[in-house]
Structure 1
Amino acid sequence: MACQSVQYIAAIMDEQALLGLNPNADARYRQRAMAYFEQLKESQDAWEVCADALAKGIYNDDHVKFFLFQVLEHQIKYRHDALSGPQQQLIRETLMKWLQGQLMNSQPEKPFIRNKAAQVFALTFVMEYLTLWPKFFFDILSLVGLNPNGVDVYLRTLMAIDAEVVDRDTLHSTEDTRRNTLIKDTMREQCIPNLVESWFQILQAYQQTQPEITCQCLEVVGSYVSWIDLNLIANDRFVNLLLSQMSVEELREEACDCLFEIVNKGMDPVDKTKLVESLCQVLQSAGFFHVEQEEDVDFLAKFSRLVNGMGQSLVLSWTKLVKAGDVKAANDTLQALEGKVPLLLQLLVHADDDISANIVAFCYDYLHVLKQLPQLTDQQKANIEAIMLAIMKKLTYDDEYNFDNEGEDEAMFVEYRKQLKMLLDRLAQVSPDLLLEAVRRVFNNTMQSWQTASFMEVEVAVRLVYMLGEALPASHGAHFTGDATKASVLQEMMRTLVSCGVSGYQHTSVSLEFFETVVRYEKFFLVEPHHIPLVLVAFLDQRGLRHGSPKVRSRVAYLFSRFVKTLHKHMNAFIEDILRQIQDLLELSPPENGFPALLTSDDQLFMFETAGILIVHGDGPAERKQGLMRSLLGPLMEAFGLLLDKLSRETEAERQAALGDCLSHAVGFASRTSKAFSNKQTVKHCGCTQVYRDCLQAFLPALGCPVQRGPLRSAVRSFLHRMIICLEEEVLPFVPAASEHMLKDCEAKDLQEFIPLISQITAKFKVQVSPFLQQVFMPLVVAIFEILGRPAEENDQTAALEKQMLRRSYFTFIQTIASSGMNEVMANQGAENIEKVLFTIIQGAVDFPDPIAQKTCFIVLSRLVELWGGEGGMVGFPDFIYKHIVPACFLAPLKPTFDLTDAQTILTLSECALTLKMIYNKRGPEFIQFLQQDYLPSLQVAPEITQELCQVLQQPDVKVFKNYIKAFFQRAKL
């Protein structure tokens, strides 16, 4: 029967299924091929046909051959242990016959088939090497000899084995890790020397004729060297062979990588130093240290990575030797390290950034070593200076950098600059004085002739001053404090920067760097405020806010707000002038005016905030501030009314959206001005109350607008949040009308965003808003539960999440009312309504698997017990405690969805325990009796456990009870 099924499948395979393996086959055939593949994979013996076809080389089609290997791979990977001894033997024979076939082929298989074959060999090896096939490598090696097709498969198999057994990026189970360790140990004992010998023979035999195979072999050596005996590789014959390949153009990059892996291998620090030194000597005598003569940048990138590895290895050895107290060996290693610095500098300053970037880590570590030395030699100081000059040179943009359309190359240079900044910071730690002096020299030389210098030179000179701010510690004058001589160097540079006219340099990179630096060192202007007018003019004219580049204008808008925030006390005399000059930048840009605005609406937010700060923090009387604020916000209110009227009449969707955006921006701008007020400079103190009341009056009608409801409601709601903080009780008359609008025709998201507003009002004004809250409370609750009760699509994740967030917001609102001492808001809703609300809280605590909402519900229940659960509390509430709150405290944690390993759920359980504790505090022995005689027996809790729980509950330490409750429910859920 088995034989028949095999023959039958073979027939189908021949005629139909295999047609669908071709990527160009139509969907019907492809589907049939997929179904057939599944059938073959699951069959007990049909896969043997595939094995037979592979061994005999029946098929020529590449896709079919790949398919056959996939079927075999599935058997080995998922069903190997279920195969009989003869079937396992069949797999081994199949693979060896297929390999034998490769030796006779004049043309090797396509790479994707060889890779798949190597994976199947590697899987078989992993499954059988320790038990069934200990001679795996010997069998393969004796078969392939030095046949190039066979060697290719052998090397690919070794890389596939590395991926299965060694690769640290692959996550393995504990069992697989143990097996892999055993495989490596057995290989070290039984066959690694033979494998290494085979690699040597391959490298020697093929370096002239088969560069591809030689490169593969070098990759294998590099991969295996991390866990085999290094002496097998790091010996004269092997290293000389590798070094000879460093001179062969097609092999040198791979040989470099191989040497890098050898150098990276963990070993004794003294031995590592010797290894690196011997490698360096040979490389140096072979002429590899003449970096400037090498034109192959791809090779140099690999070579700089190798030098980086050697340098970092020496640093690590030095660190270990210093720690061990081996002074002589540490000094020898330090000497070896110093010997590599000239090479490091050649590579660091190389024109190609990839080559330079590859050496940065070694440079960083070398500077770290210098930082730890008690004293620096003249040579080390010279090295520091050379590194500094290299960094300054490499920070410079090149001609090809595209500032208008930054792509991948530009992004890579920005990343590379970050690495150089890291080096500069480390330099500052090693020798801050040297760095300060070097920057001063470069900066002063450039500023003396900035008009004729290239933008790259000017930008980097200013950039270096900017970078000092983070690189130098405050004691070195980065913040104009501490040592006067050091502070004066930076002050002198800042004086030059703001007065030499470089702010007018016509290049975006220089403009941006100028303003960034001015704002970084804003404290300079506190020391020398007479420079402020000069810089203000630059901010306000074509160098800054009116620059030709939108990128510069945008950044300057933000930087200007920062500058004004810090220095507004020194700008009192210029307030009106500044406001007049930026007036056109504060105008709304209605969609129909057709002119591109100088600033985006996001940039304008900063401008309005800046204007607000200037007005609020000016020295003048309240009347002046009120007048200026009205001049600022009046045009916004006027434009808002006109645009809202237009929107209500507009029928075209695109224009409705544009008008809605514009209206939202207007509200946002007004809101942003309010950020200028503080505890000292309040709205009231500045005489601006009526201005903001007028804004409310102007904006609130937008809540009733039937189009663009979402954006408009969101904007006005945000403004109300700000006004609650700024206007205080003056905002209250506007709240009822606003709430009425926002509760009308609302969706889950609207309500969810409205509740925090009501909660904010409740928490801030408490008793003052009690009448309003009593009025709005039930309509709000009804609206919430109407939305929560709406049916939704089963798989609509967005709707489900919105409902979850709304439910959470609702419970938080109830918590705010309860914890603000506003219990009369609920108490005055009538018995039926109170009951409805209480049941929603019980339901939230028990029925919904959302620990955040559940925790809030238990906090509310605990608070309500505290308010209403004692003598003289709400009529009927003790009955509610026993019928509903106590059961909730036990039923919620017993639910399967209540995960006691989850941190958020544990917090919920903690609140649940506090609720039980609060019930005991309010009801005393009566509650204990209820638990002992009624409730816990109804849950089939054993009498001794009931007794134990009640005893712990009566103890004063609540922490003990919390711990007990956790253990109680953990036991109950077993």
Structure 2
Amino acid sequence: MDEQALLGLNPNANADFRERALAYFEQLKVSRDAWQVCAEAISQRIYSDDHVKFFCFQVLEHQIKFKYSELTTLQHQLIRETLITWLQSQMLNAQPEKTFIRNKAAQVFALVFVTEYLTTWHKFFFDVLSVVGLNPRGVDLYLRILMAIDAEVVDRDIIHTPEEARRNTLLKDSMREQCVPNLVESWYQILQTYQHSNSEITCQCLEVIGAFVSWIDLTLIANDRFINMLLGHMSVEVLREEACDCLYEIVNKGMDPVDKTKLVESLCQVLQSAGFFRIDQEEDVDFLARFSKLVNGMGQSLIISWTKLVKSGDLKNAQDTLQSIESKVPLMLRLLVHEDDDISSNIIGFCYEYLHILKQVGKRMLYLSSATELAIMLAVMKKLTYDDEYNFENEGEDEAMFVEYRKQLKLLLDRLAQVSPELLLASVRRIFNSTLQNWQSTQFMEVEVAIRLLYMLGEAIPTSHGAHFCGDFAKASVLQDMMRTLVTSGVSSYNHTSVTLEYFETVVRYEKFFAVEPIHIPDVLMAFLDHRGLRHPSPKVRSRTAYLFSRFVKSLHKQMNAFVEDILNRIQDLLELSPPENGFQTLLSSDDQLFIYETAGVLIVNSEYSADRKSILMRNLLTPLMQKFKILLEKLMMEQDEERQTVLADCLNHAVGFASRTSKAFSNKQTVKQCGCSGVYLDCLRTFLPALNCLVQKETLRGGVRTFLHRMIICLEEEVLPFIPTASEHMLKDCEAKDLQEFIPLINQITAKFKTQVSPFLQQVFMPLLHAIFEILVRPAEENDQSAALDKQMLRRSYFAFLQTVTGSGMNEVIANQDAENVERVLFTVIQGAVEYPDPIAQKTCFIILSKLVELWGGKDGLVGFADFVYKHIVPACFLAPLKPTFDLADAQTVLALSECAVTIKTIYLKRGPECIQYLQLEYLPSLQVAPEIIQEFCQALQQPDAKVFKNYLKVRRLQGLERRGESVAGEGVP
């Protein structure tokens, strides 16, 4: 072996050595016989360096994974002998191999097993066991090999191909027949030998049993000698967690429901007798988390058994199982309410399913039902509570886990609401009222949970149970009473972010309450606007409040008329546009300000003011933006510092975004005119468009202005048209692929909306736009530059989408009025797009364009020379595209492309009639050496009145019989 290259395997080696080692590894991988050097190094123990040993196993692993079928029978035998020899050597080593080497060796053993067990190495396990015996190092390796085999053959978390799945089924079937009883016996001997002397091996063995029990005969494990041993392990501190997991896997094993009930009951009785149900006396929370998972498994298994028994009509055994389930409920509740969230979380599945049973069977059949519902409810309410250590300002992994745990508890609450909505409402109301009466002297977590419970009722309680709001005070629901208490209690002033946020979230969730009791709106608005909301010390609260305030105003805009100008005055300072200078930070981020601008727009547009007044208010809102924009644009054009340029460009972009966001309040042009706001938005356009002349940070500025134009096309309609030519001219200068991709949708929007109105403009911009596209597509790029290739692919799609919009909007004269040379070039690009590029989305678009052009120009009085083009190029394209090896009908987009291809051929036939059939029968199809009977069949299908007949024919046959693949289409087009 290359000793110099091996030096690079050391983690401390320099970059050159590491690179040489990597190259050596690649060299050994592709070599036919070099792996044998590594096999010899493994069996002869030539190297003592751990990294070299690992390297040798890696080379062997690659050979078995990817090249095993290429090896001879003797070479297969060499690999088997290498592994067994290495295994034998481990019994003699003074020191055991490092864990990472043992794990890699186990993987290699497993790969050989799945490759050879069914054909050559039937005695795999017997050969391994005969070597390792009960030697502790050998047993360790044997157990690692079994876990590696589980990963290859059984593990459901690993995705297998259908072929691998079939192989794995055969492997398990063969193992059941040939060796599983022997494996089980070896596990028993290992446990018996090492349970008191080697906890690591014992735990490994328990893990193996847990992994294999899902698919072997359960009676081999679920018997007195194994279960008694496992229960004994439950009392040994270093073994009990793994024993717990092993019992969990046994309990989860699919089996007859009556037998499952007996198994679970016997386990429970022994565990209870041994004192494991005394949860309060157990201090080891890690063990209790495993034990909770076991109890959850037992409970859910019993529920599955009960469901099967009920379905089969075995009501006697079903009743016995139901009693068994109910006997576990007290234990379930103690685990649910445990202060450790992992322990509680692990039992939620059982709780959830038990509540489902309560809903199904009714409370009369279950002795503990009402008490259990109440206990679960109280447990959920208690466990929803934050603890003192929760970090609200800097949430990390622990906080994220608690948020997920809360989601689980919410599911329990929702299920409780289905079982007993009245009880849930009464319980929440009691806790809520008692907490809010004394909120000033109550800990934040209790106040937050009280409001949180009110919030959660919105989804949990159906409206048929009174969870709604009505104008009749005497009929006011429990929810309405609680909302009134929330907004009048003063709890919005509680000095903790969690309470503040929960208050605003709940106010917005129940915005319908304010429609029936609008008297409370002023107090809530003030909470939003002052230090409790938008001016709260916490950026997190300010940010969330900005969004919630926007939702609140949008929902209740009809009730806001009396407060419009007051709100606008109070938020004025929050609307300020200024780049961060001298470390000064605005209260709200630019993203938050977007919501405030939108809110301001909603207030103005939906107010009951006159159009003149609305116009003044909107101008007051947007004029400061325009003024600041002009100043900042001048600064940007003079600025030399790149970092400062970026800051200024971002600020300018925000200004455009804010103005655009205010227009969200308008549904269409009519509302803009009715509000008298057209003028101010036209002024905005005049203010923002000069930014397109700025060569500094042009990508950022163009993006912002382009987005604003999209909005103005909707709001101002034809009033925006005079601005489009100049804007387009600037946006086509010095542009990249991405710029064009984003510019084309703007042109498409204008074309589709205004059609013939913009025909002169389109004719003018058409070829400059196409030249810009072609220029970018012909630029050379690095062969492996996937990003550049993707940009080009997306630009081609955008180009074809543009042509589709032009032709689909009845604007074919835009193309027809170009120079003949340019028209021809455009047509050839579409032909190329349909045939040459393996992009089914672009192909589909190209066939849509072609069929439309045939429809417009393909008749007797169509475009001069187009009929000739149809037969020379469009017809061949319809046959050549599906013949491409890349035309994969397993892909849904390709199927759509084929469908549009069929439409194109059908359209040619409809426009040209018998002439088309004659051309296909006598000229084109014979030139492809298609059999006469298939030509006849094809033409008959084409002439069927129902277009679907031909589409289906083309899809089913995919032009079978047209075996000679055509030459690529010639012509100048999209590169």
Pair in the same fold by TM > 0.5:
yes
Aligned counterpart for 2:221 among listed residues 218, 221, 233: 233
The residue type paired with residue 136 of structure 2 is: P
SS in structure 1 at match of 2:608 = coil
1:310 pairs with 2:298: yes
The residue type paired with residue 218 of structure 2 is: L
Identify the residue that residue 885 of structure 2 maps to in structure 1.
Answer: 896
1:911-950 matched pairs, under 5 angstroms: 911-950=900-939
For residues 839 and 156 of structure 1, do their structure 2 counterparts lie closer, same or farther at Cα, with a shift above 3 Å needed? closer
Report the Cα offset of residue 116 of structure 1. Answer: 3.7
Stretch moving more, 668-677 or 874-883 = 874-883
The residue type paired with residue 165 of structure 1 is: V
> d(CA) in 2 for partners of 1:84 and 1:895?
38
Aligned counterpart for 1:969 among listed residues 948, 959, 966: 959
> d(CA) in 1 for partners of 2:537 and 2:202?
57
TM-score by length of 2: 0.93
1:955 pairs with 2:944: yes
- The answer to whether the 8 Å contact 1:118/1:160 transfers is yes
For residues 747 and 192 of structure 1, do their structure 2 counterparts lie closer, same or farther at Cα, with a shift above 3 Å needed? closer
For residues 54 and 548 of structure 1, do their structure 2 counterparts lie closer, same or farther at Cα, with a shift above 3 Å needed? closer
1:321 pairs with 2:309: yes
Report the Cα offset of residue 135 of structure 1. Answer: 4.5
Any unmatched runs of 5+ in structure 2? Answer: 965-975
For residues 336 and 816 of structure 1, do their structure 2 counterparts lie closer, same or farther at Cα, with a shift above 3 Å needed? same
Report the Cα offset of residue 418 of structure 1. Answer: 1.0
Identify the residue that residue 332 of structure 1 maps to in structure 2.
Answer: 320
Aligned counterpart for 1:635 among listed residues 615, 624, 627: 624
Identify the residue that residue 835 of structure 1 maps to in structure 2.
Answer: 824
- The answer to whether the 8 Å contact 1:617/1:681 transfers is no
Identify the residue that residue 553 of structure 2 maps to in structure 1.
Answer: 564
> d(CA) in 2 for partners of 1:891 and 1:366?
63
For residues 314 and 811 of structure 1, do their structure 2 counterparts lie closer, same or farther at Cα, with a shift above 3 Å needed? same
Identify the residue that residue 6 of structure 1 maps to in structure 2.
Answer: none
1:126-137 matched pairs, under 5 angstroms: 126-130=114-118, 133-137=121-125
Report the Cα offset of residue 900 of structure 1. Answer: 3.1
Aligned counterpart for 2:353 among listed residues 349, 352, 365: 365
> d(CA) in 1 for partners of 2:306 and 2:680?
70
The residue type paired with residue 248 of structure 2 is: F
> d(CA) in 2 for partners of 1:876 and 1:96?
79
The residue type paired with residue 404 of structure 2 is: E
Stretch moving more, 220-229 or 132-141 = 132-141
Q: Tell me the alpha carbon deviations over residues 305-324 of structure 1, each in whole angstroms, 9 at most, x when there is no partner.
A: 11111111011111111111
Q: Tell me the alpha carbon deviations over residues 942-966 of structure 1, each in whole angstroms, 9 at most, x when there is no partner.
A: 3332232222222211111112223
Identify the residue that residue 273 of structure 2 maps to in structure 1.
Answer: 285
For residues 485 and 399 of structure 1, do their structure 2 counterparts lie closer, same or farther at Cα, with a shift above 3 Å needed? farther
SS in structure 2 at match of 1:941 = coil
For residues 582 and 928 of structure 1, do their structure 2 counterparts lie closer, same or farther at Cα, with a shift above 3 Å needed? same
Report the Cα offset of residue 890 of structure 1. Answer: 2.2
For residues 525 and 872 of structure 1, do their structure 2 counterparts lie closer, same or farther at Cα, with a shift above 3 Å needed? same
> d(CA) in 1 for partners of 2:210 and 2:234?
14
- The answer to whether the 8 Å contact 2:881/2:887 transfers is yes
For residues 531 and 150 of structure 1, do their structure 2 counterparts lie closer, same or farther at Cα, with a shift above 3 Å needed? same
Aligned counterpart for 1:575 among listed residues 549, 554, 564: 564
For residues 771 and 310 of structure 1, do their structure 2 counterparts lie closer, same or farther at Cα, with a shift above 3 Å needed? same
1:161 pairs with 2:140: no
**How many matched pairs?**
962
1:70-85 matched pairs, under 5 angstroms: 70=58
> d(CA) in 1 for partners of 2:81 and 2:718?
89
- The answer to whether the 8 Å contact 1:747/1:787 transfers is yes
Aligned counterpart for 1:658 among listed residues 620, 635, 647: 647
- The answer to whether the 8 Å contact 2:289/2:346 transfers is yes
> d(CA) in 2 for partners of 1:744 and 1:28?
46
Q: Tell me the alpha carbon deviations over residues 661-704 of structure 1, each in whole angstroms, 9 at most, x when there is no partner.
A: 11111111111111101259610011111111111111111111
The residue type paired with residue 882 of structure 1 is: Y
The residue type paired with residue 862 of structure 2 is: G
Identify the residue that residue 751 of structure 1 maps to in structure 2.
Answer: 740
> d(CA) in 2 for partners of 1:797 and 1:90?
43
- The answer to whether the 8 Å contact 2:118/2:171 transfers is yes
Report the Cα offset of residue 774 of structure 1. Answer: 2.5
> d(CA) in 2 for partners of 1:81 and 1:314?
48
For residues 915 and 102 of structure 1, do their structure 2 counterparts lie closer, same or farther at Cα, with a shift above 3 Å needed? closer
> d(CA) in 1 for partners of 2:24 and 2:818?
69
Report the Cα offset of residue 199 of structure 1. Answer: 2.1
Report the Cα offset of residue 971 of structure 1. Answer: 4.1
Stretch moving more, 135-144 or 80-89 = 80-89
> d(CA) in 1 for partners of 2:559 and 2:497?
28
Report the Cα offset of residue 631 of structure 1. Answer: 0.7
Stretch moving more, 335-344 or 813-822 = 813-822
Report the Cα offset of residue 397 of structure 1. Answer: 0.5
For residues 666 and 907 of structure 1, do their structure 2 counterparts lie closer, same or farther at Cα, with a shift above 3 Å needed? same
Stretch moving more, 683-692 or 861-870 = 861-870
Identify the residue that residue 103 of structure 2 maps to in structure 1.
Answer: 115
Identify the residue that residue 578 of structure 2 maps to in structure 1.
Answer: 589
Aligned counterpart for 1:845 among listed residues 828, 834, 840: 834
Identify the residue that residue 445 of structure 2 maps to in structure 1.
Answer: 456
The residue type paired with residue 783 of structure 1 is: A
The residue type paired with residue 623 of structure 1 is: D
- The answer to whether the 8 Å contact 1:221/1:258 transfers is yes
> d(CA) in 1 for partners of 2:37 and 2:806?
75
Aligned counterpart for 1:870 among listed residues 849, 859, 872: 859
> d(CA) in 1 for partners of 2:638 and 2:532?
42
Aligned counterpart for 1:343 among listed residues 310, 315, 331: 331
- The answer to whether the 8 Å contact 1:474/1:482 transfers is no
Report the Cα offset of residue 229 of structure 1. Answer: 1.9
- The answer to whether the 8 Å contact 2:471/2:516 transfers is no
> d(CA) in 2 for partners of 1:321 and 1:868?
71
1:736 pairs with 2:725: yes
Stretch moving more, 354-363 or 550-559 = 354-363
The residue type paired with residue 114 of structure 1 is: R
- The answer to whether the 8 Å contact 2:533/2:542 transfers is yes
> d(CA) in 2 for partners of 1:961 and 1:80?
48
1:196 pairs with 2:184: yes
Stretch moving more, 882-891 or 365-374 = 882-891
For residues 650 and 916 of structure 1, do their structure 2 counterparts lie closer, same or farther at Cα, with a shift above 3 Å needed? same
The residue type paired with residue 216 of structure 1 is: Q
For residues 671 and 22 of structure 1, do their structure 2 counterparts lie closer, same or farther at Cα, with a shift above 3 Å needed? closer
Report the Cα offset of residue 127 of structure 1. Answer: 4.9
Report the Cα offset of residue 811 of structure 1. Answer: 2.1
For residues 106 and 486 of structure 1, do their structure 2 counterparts lie closer, same or farther at Cα, with a shift above 3 Å needed? farther
For residues 884 and 30 of structure 1, do their structure 2 counterparts lie closer, same or farther at Cα, with a shift above 3 Å needed? closer
Identify the residue that residue 223 of structure 1 maps to in structure 2.
Answer: 211
TM-score by length of 1: 0.93
Report the Cα offset of residue 549 of structure 1. Answer: 0.6
The CA RMSD measured in Å over matched residues stands at: 2.8
Report the Cα offset of residue 206 of structure 1. Answer: 1.9
Report the Cα offset of residue 520 of structure 1. Answer: 0.2
The residue type paired with residue 185 of structure 1 is: D
> d(CA) in 2 for partners of 1:466 and 1:34?
58
Any unmatched runs of 5+ in structure 1? Answer: 1-11
The residue type paired with residue 262 of structure 1 is: I
> d(CA) in 2 for partners of 1:485 and 1:337?
44
Identify the residue that residue 609 of structure 1 maps to in structure 2.
Answer: 598
SS in structure 2 at match of 1:683 = helix
- The answer to whether the 8 Å contact 1:478/1:487 transfers is no
Report the Cα offset of residue 714 of structure 1. Answer: 1.2
The residue type paired with residue 751 of structure 1 is: L
- Between the aligned residues of both structures, percent identity stands at 76
Report the Cα offset of residue 562 of structure 1. Answer: 0.4
Identify the residue that residue 968 of structure 2 maps to in structure 1.
Answer: none
- The answer to whether the 8 Å contact 2:931/2:961 transfers is no
- The answer to whether the 8 Å contact 2:468/2:480 transfers is no
Identify the residue that residue 472 of structure 1 maps to in structure 2.
Answer: 461
Report the Cα offset of residue 635 of structure 1. Answer: 1.0
Stretch moving more, 228-237 or 77-86 = 77-86
1:253 pairs with 2:241: yes
The residue type paired with residue 149 of structure 1 is: R
Report the Cα offset of residue 892 of structure 1. Answer: 2.6
Identify the residue that residue 210 of structure 1 maps to in structure 2.
Answer: 198
Q: Tell me the alpha carbon deviations over residues 470-522 of structure 1, each in whole angstroms, 9 at most, x when there is no partner.
A: 11222233343699999610000000000000000000111100000000000
Report the Cα offset of residue 908 of structure 1. Answer: 1.6
